[in-house]
Amino acid sequence: MTPMEFDFLKTFLKTRSGLVLSNDKQYLVESRLLPIARSSKLETLSALIQSLQKGGNRALETEVVEAMTTNESFFFRDKTPFEHFKETMLPAMLQNRATRKQIKIWCAAASTGQEPYSLAICLKEAAAKVGGWRIRILGTDLSQEVLEKAKTGLYSQFEVQRGLPIQLLLKYFDQKGDMWQINAGLRAMIEWKKLNLLEQFSHIGEFDIVFCRNVLIYFDQPTKTEILERIAKALPDDGFLVLGAAETVVGLTDAFKPVPGKRGLFQKKQAAQTATRPALAGATSRLAVGATTLR
């Protein structure tokens, strides 16, 4: 792959997905795209790039973008965000949403589904508190392939061993040969949609909590700012934003402020400056689409 070909690929990926490739990532490009070149009967990576340059092959373009933007995920990844969910976010929602009894959560870049399912498990474990509440969890990702896997809720022994306590595995999964499948009740709690964060997403509605972890690190600063400000519009004043451990809003937007003592947890600036507000009245009915009532 020549320097000019690599430059084309960097521009192509940034335009399509927001991914910013540094010059030291050529090894990553080769490891992820060479298998695609071979399966497409293209002898070299240069031949694959030439095909992209010609245009017209949407299937190949999609495959390349998905290969370069697909990242690993595992259950209860990093633990801390899920502790914040149970100890800070959920109690706030139980107080502020007591009138309408509904919680809406969006997991952006949900990958193969472990994050949304981990949150669904947290809510099932808190059934005594949220029984009768309507729960909407939306998982989105740029890759249709990983979303299809997420929908099945089917994971290998290796995947369920990464971060999932054995008691939760036995409680919420059914063994299917060499695989484990999330039970039907948990799968029904989550709605899946293909979504590119570079595009407008106002159509998906408003959410109380947004998980957008380990995504912004791949974007340049203007793109990070734009995405964060659009996420702010999808949150009410007392909504929460969860970012990855290495991510921040500092220097990017004034729409959010860190929650003191809670790494990776942010609230709208208005909420950080005022006391907890009462439940918002008159939630629009379209936000309840796909919601599941916990029993």
The helix/strand count (H/E) of the chain reads as: 14, 11
Find the helix or strand (DSSP H, E) in which 155 lies: strand 154-156
> In this predicted model, what pLDDT tens digit does every residue of 40-89 receive, in sequence order?
888 888 999 999 998 888 888 888 887 887 677 889 999 999 999 999 99
Could you give all domains of the chain from N- to C-terminal order, each with its CATH number? 3-69 (1.10.155), 80-294 (3.40.50.150)
Q: Is 150 exposed, middle or buried (0-12, 13-18, 19+ CB in 10 A)?
A: buried
Residues forming beta bridges with residue 258, ordered by sequence position = 266
Q: Is 199 exposed, middle or buried (0-12, 13-18, 19+ CB in 10 A)?
A: exposed
> In this predicted model, what pLDDT tens digit does every residue of 244-263 receive, in sequence order?
988 999 999 999 999 999 99
C-alpha gyration radius of the chain: 20
End-to-end CA distance of the chain: 56
Backbone φ and ψ of 22, nearest 5°: -85, 165
pTM score above 0.95: no
Average pLDDT rounded to a whole number, residues 108-116: 94
> In this predicted model, what pLDDT tens digit does every residue of 192-218 receive, in sequence order?
999 999 999 999 999 999 999 988 888
